[in-house]
């Protein structure tokens, strides 16, 4: 055990095999009735995450922001937005987490600031401003056209004209999020200083936002028309390959610089949000223990249909392509995507949990998935997020009251269905989705084969069954689930104990010979020697 007493230490870093719980701070718990979740609210609900059994929290951005991109547009990297509390509250949260053996990760958004950040305000004051070169400016092309054909990830040109200077500035996302110029060493220094500000306060690391966008072609070349068969991750809606503005080779030096800062402190982690196909992800993980990201999200499961063959392929690709210095990092849901209870259907959430939480790797959960939370089906009232992501950001449902125990005031977004799904009821019900999450996470912690064992697919299963075997120290566990619409069966060569099951009545029993699984049913079996 390490000094937190919660992570078994066999020389491997704490984050390998860990379960990380993502909190969208606005939507987790409101402590003061203003309808917006806050840091004190999170402190008040830490028992829930401790009961769940996760290793770490990751908070989406808590910094001051005019909310054009809901906190991913920052005006001060070393402060806390007043609606979330204060730096002192963050200190209190760090202490409260550490006292309970939890780690705390923040979101680092290094590629762009808010348009209202003092750095950009100064940069925009004129071409001779001392901060001008902290951002990326270019003259129009003939006819006043933008300097390149690059597109913003949210659609439209990646350039906005600054009428005062007659130059365009670059933004990989909204126009209110001007891109920082990472070719300027002063930018790197400022961002490293922001990292140290939080690391000095005991924060255990960062999820690093949109990193593939950090560096662009210095000659500002136009992107070429995409060739056939290219990945959808790399092509703009305009049909141009994102060749010169995303994933430039120099980005690896940016990441190495961040890694060096993290390495000044013991046991800190960086999780890269690279958003690239699995084939390219390995290049961001580096080949040495201290090179580039310790972890980087594999987002394939967020885009893979609920089919055994598709999932098996995604998982095997990740297994084959992840360097041995680390492990895959999976998520099924986050604040940017339709929740998986909605994508796969609520009938699938138990099996999805069984699969996710028995996979080799670091697992990220998105707050609410542990109660089977869906996206809000029909949100009325004004849209907050321009990119249409309100439905997956609705508040956490703590109890069955109309405001779900989230707030005593008017919630900033309406709750989805607290009467139907909430922590209080599910926590008291051993047959609930929440109880299954708790059991699976506890098993993952206590069984070395699940926590860090090897993994290989079981290939002799009928097409609608997904199965993989985890093993360590002679112990073998089989995860098997039926993703098809009808009963399916497979054969076991000897008796196996049911360690966990989507149907709790099967837990503690044993199976042998032909085993039938109902649609969306899954078992975690301890295989005989
Ligand atoms: C990824 C974040 O997860 C998303 O919410 C944000 O809009 C973009 N990066 C831009 O920062
Ligand atoms: Ca509040």
Cα 419 to ligand 2 centre (Å):
22
- In this predicted structure, what is the pLDDT of residue 87? 98
Given the residues 2, 189, 200, 264, select the one marked as catalytic. Answer: 264
Cα 153 to ligand 1 centre (Å):
10
Answer yes or no: is pLDDT of 404 > 90: yes
CATH number at residue 80: 3.20.20.80
Answer yes or no: is pLDDT of 146 > 80: yes
Tell whether 490 is covered by a domain. Answer: yes
Vertex 505 angle, CA 500 and 507, to 5°: 25
Q: Based on the fold, state whether residues 379 and 316 are members of the same structural domain.
A: yes
Q: Which of 392, 423, 444 is the last residue of a domain?
A: 444
Cα 84 to ligand 2 centre (Å):
6
What gap in Å lies between CA 90 and CA 98, rounded to an integer?
12
The stretches of 246-339 forming alpha helices (DSSP H) are: 251-262, 278-285, 300-303, 308-321
Answer yes or no: is pLDDT of 292 > 50: yes
Provide mean pLDDT across the span 186-196.
98
Best of 24, 68, 69 to mutate for ligand 1, by most ligand atoms within 8 A of CB? 69
For ion ligand 2, residues whose CB falls within 5 Å: 30, 32, 34, 36, 38
Ligand nearest to the CA of 172: 1
Phi, psi for residue 352 in degrees, rounded to 5: -60, -40
Q: State the pLDDT confidence band at 23, using cuts at 50, 70 and 90.
A: very high
Contact 110, 74 (CB under 8 A): no
What gap in Å lies between CA 132 and CA 162, rounded to an integer?
12
Answer yes or no: is pLDDT of 32 > 60: yes
What gap in Å lies between CA 491 and CA 484, rounded to an integer?
17
Nearest residue by C-alpha to atom 11 in ligand 1: 72
Tell whether 497 is covered by a domain. Answer: yes
- In this predicted structure, what is the pLDDT of residue 231? 52
Q: Based on the fold, state whether residues 277 and 262 are members of the same structural domain.
A: yes
Q: Based on the fold, state whether residues 160 and 211 are members of the same structural domain.
A: no
Q: Based on the fold, state whether residues 439 and 333 are members of the same structural domain.
A: yes
Ramachandran category for residue 280: left, alpha or beta (phi over 0 → left; psi -120 to 50 → alpha)? alpha
Answer yes or no: is pLDDT of 5 > 90: no
What gap in Å lies between CA 61 and CA 97, rounded to an integer?
17
Answer yes or no: is pLDDT of 10 > 80: no
Active site residue 241: no
Given the residues 83, 176, 209, 370, select the one marked as catalytic. Answer: 209
- In this predicted structure, what is the pLDDT of residue 2? 37
Q: Based on the fold, state whether residues 93 and 210 are members of the same structural domain.
A: yes
Counting from 1 in the atom list of ligand 1, the atom nearest the Cα of 273 is 1
Residue-range definition of the domain harbouring residue 360: 19-113+185-444
- In this predicted structure, what is the pLDDT of residue 230? 55
Q: Based on the fold, state whether residues 194 and 61 are members of the same structural domain.
A: yes
Tell whether 4 is covered by a domain. Answer: no
The stretches of 100-163 forming alpha helices (DSSP H) are: 118-124
Phi, psi for residue 480 in degrees, rounded to 5: -140, 135
More confident residue, 36 or 226: 36
Q: Based on the fold, state whether residues 67 and 156 are members of the same structural domain.
A: no
Closest CA to 525 of 493, 492, 499, 486: 499
Q: Based on the fold, state whether residues 30 and 49 are members of the same structural domain.
A: yes
Cα 479 to ligand 1 centre (Å):
33
Cα 363 to ligand 1 centre (Å):
19
Q: Based on the fold, state whether residues 397 and 354 are members of the same structural domain.
A: yes
Q: Based on the fold, state whether residues 210 and 296 are members of the same structural domain.
A: yes
CA-derived radius of gyration, the chain: 23
Terminal alpha carbon distance of the chain: 28
- In this predicted structure, what is the pLDDT of residue 288? 73
Residue 198 parent element (H or E) = helix 185-200
Sheet of 137-138: strand order equals 137-138, 167-170, 159-162
Active site residue 399: no
Q: Which of 444, 471, 497 is the last residue of a domain?
A: 444
Residues 35-80: tens digit of each pLDDT:
999 999 999 999 999 999 999 999 999 999 999 999 999 999 999 9
Q: Based on the fold, state whether residues 201 and 214 are members of the same structural domain.
A: yes
Phi, psi for residue 338 in degrees, rounded to 5: -55, 130
List all residues 6 or more positions away from 338 whose beta carbon is below 8 Å from its beta carbon: 375, 391, 392
| Pairing state between β 205-208 and 103-108 | parallel
Tokens of 342: 């909605």
Tell whether 14 is covered by a domain. Answer: no
Tell whether 348 is covered by a domain. Answer: yes
Give the pocket of ligand 1 (CB within 6 Å).
Answer: 69, 72, 109, 173, 209-210, 273, 335-336
Q: What is the DSSP string of 373-395?
A: PPPPSS--S----TTS-GGGSPP
List all residues 6 or more positions away from 277 whose beta carbon is below 8 Å from its beta carbon: 231, 233, 234, 300
Counting from 1 in the atom list of ligand 1, the atom nearest the Cα of 275 is 1
Q: State the pLDDT confidence band at 3, using cuts at 50, 70 and 90.
A: very low
The total domain count for the chain is: 3
CATH number at residue 479: 2.60.40.1180
- In this predicted structure, what is the pLDDT of residue 8? 41
Contact 300, 278 (CB under 8 A): yes
Answer yes or no: is pLDDT of 516 > 60: yes
What gap in Å lies between CA 230 and CA 212, rounded to an integer?
17
What gap in Å lies between CA 217 and CA 239, rounded to an integer?
19
Q: Which of 424, 444, 464 is the last residue of a domain?
A: 444
Give buried/exposed letters for 111-127 (b at 16+ CB in 10 A, else e): bbbbbbbebbeebbeee
Closest CA to 52 of 30, 26, 3, 19: 19
CATH number at residue 122: 3.90.400.10
Provide mean pLDDT across the span 366-391.
92
What gap in Å lies between CA 46 and CA 437, rounded to an integer?
16
Tell whether 450 is covered by a domain. Answer: no
Handedness of CA 243, 298, 73, 395 (dihedral sign): positive
Q: Based on the fold, state whether residues 67 and 122 are members of the same structural domain.
A: no
Contact 46, 102 (CB under 8 A): yes
Contact 297, 233 (CB under 8 A): no
Tokens of 52: 């769940």
Tell whether 175 is covered by a domain. Answer: no
List all residues 6 or more positions away from 505 whose beta carbon is below 8 Å from its beta carbon: none
Mean of all residue pLDDT scores within the chain: 95
Tell whether 9 is covered by a domain. Answer: no
More confident residue, 277 or 481: 481
What gap in Å lies between CA 203 and CA 90, rounded to an integer?
9
- In this predicted structure, what is the pLDDT of residue 233? 54
- In this predicted structure, what is the pLDDT of residue 228? 62
Tokens of 134: 């902290």
Residue 163: how many other CB atoms lie within 10 Å: 7
């Amino acid at each position: 055990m390490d000094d937190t007493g919660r992570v078994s230490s066999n020389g491997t870093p704490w984050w390998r095999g860990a379960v990380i719980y993502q909190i969208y701070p606005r939507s987790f718990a409101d402590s003061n009735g203003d309808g917006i979740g806050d840091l004190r609210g999170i402190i008040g609900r830490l028992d829930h995450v401790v009961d769940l059994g996760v290793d770490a929290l990751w908070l989406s951005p808590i910094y001051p922001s005019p909310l054009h991109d809901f906190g991913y547009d920052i005006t001060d990297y070393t402060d806390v937005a007043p609606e979330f509390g204060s730096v002192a509250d963050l200190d209190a949260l760090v202490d409260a987490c550490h006292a309970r053996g939890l780690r705390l990760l923040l979101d680092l958004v290094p590629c762009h600031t808010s348009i209202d950040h003092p750095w950009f305000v100064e940069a925009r004051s004129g071409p001779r401003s001392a901060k001008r070169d902290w951002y990326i400016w270019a003259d129009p092309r003939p006819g006043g056209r933008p300097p390149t054909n690059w597109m913003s990830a949210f659609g439209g040109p990646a350039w906005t004209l600054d009428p005062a200077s007659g130059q365009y500035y670059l933004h990989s996302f909204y126009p209110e999020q001007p891109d920082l110029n990472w070719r300027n060493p002063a930018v790197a220094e400022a961002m490293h200083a922001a990292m140290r500000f939080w690391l000095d306060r005991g924060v255990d690391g960062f999820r690093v936002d949109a990193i593939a966008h950090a560096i662009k072609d210095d000659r500002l070349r136009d992107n070429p028309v995409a060739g056939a068969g290219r990945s959808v991750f790399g092509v703009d809606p305009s049909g141009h390959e994102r060749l010169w503005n995303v994933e430039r080779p120099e980005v690896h030096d940016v990441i190495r610089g961040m890694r060096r800062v993290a390495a000044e402190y013991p046991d800190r982690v960086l999780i890269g949000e690279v958003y690239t196909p699995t084939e390219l992800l390995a290049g961001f993980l580096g080949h040495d223990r201290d090179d580039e990201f310790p972890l980087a999200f594999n987002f394939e499961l967020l885009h893979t249909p609920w089919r055994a063959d598709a999932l098996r392929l995604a998982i095997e690709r990740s297994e084959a392509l992840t360097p041995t210095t680390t492990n895959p990092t999976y998520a099924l849901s986050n604040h940017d995507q339709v929740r998986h209870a909605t994508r796969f259907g609520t009938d699938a959430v138990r099996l999805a949990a069984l699969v996710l939480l028995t996979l080799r790797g670091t697992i990220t959960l998105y707050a609410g998935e542990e109660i089977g939370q869906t996206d809000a089906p029909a949100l009325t009232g004004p849209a907050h997020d321009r990119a249409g992501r309100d439905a997956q950001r609705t508040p956490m449902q703590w109890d069955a009251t109309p405001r779900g125990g989230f707030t005593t005031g008017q919630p900033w977004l309406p709750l989805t269905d607290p009467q139907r799904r909430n922590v209080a009821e599910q926590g008291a019900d051993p047959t609930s989705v929440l109880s299954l999450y708790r059991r699976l996470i506890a098993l993952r912690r206590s069984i070395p084969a699940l926590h860090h064992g090897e993994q290989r697919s079981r290939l002799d299963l009928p097409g609608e069954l997904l199965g993989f075997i985890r093993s360590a120290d002679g112990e073998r566990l089989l995860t098997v689930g039926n993703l098809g619409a009808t009963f399916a069966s497979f054969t076991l060569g000897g008796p196996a104990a049911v360690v966990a099951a989507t149907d709790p009545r099967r837990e503690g029993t044993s199976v042998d010979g032909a085993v039938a699984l109902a649609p969306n049913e899954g078992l975690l079996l301890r295989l005989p020697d």
